[in-house]
Amino acid sequence: WRMGVGMDLANAGGEVVLVKGNQGMGLGDVAVRGATSHHFIVLDNEAPAVGVILAVEGNAGGIAYPRLRHGYNPKNTVSSVTQYYRVY
């Protein structure tokens, strides 16, 4: 991961895989929310089929108020996830 650039899958050695959609997310996956590309780490063993995902995220207060958040952010819903990264 490179700030301002994103995930460099070409140099990940096959250990990081991009999965389109939101099906099959689980513990440790890095979910991407919507068009803003906000990322958070999924803490649910299996993400719920619908609803809010238990997660940890940085910059939870935005760039002006960076902070670490652990818990349920109402914006981090299953339906808001457009893709996720799985690290092997």
Give the pLDDT confidence of 53-80 residue by residue, as tens digits: 999 987 766 667 777 888 898 989 999 9
Q: For residue 44, give both structure tokens.
A: 């649910």
What DSSP designation does 23 have? T
Q: For residue 69, give both structure tokens.
A: 């958040």
Q: For residue 4, give both structure tokens.
A: 């301002």
Residues 12-49: tens digit of each pLDDT: 677 888 899 999 999 999 999 887 678 899 998 777 77
Report the C-alpha gap between 86 and 74 in whole angstroms.
Answer: 23
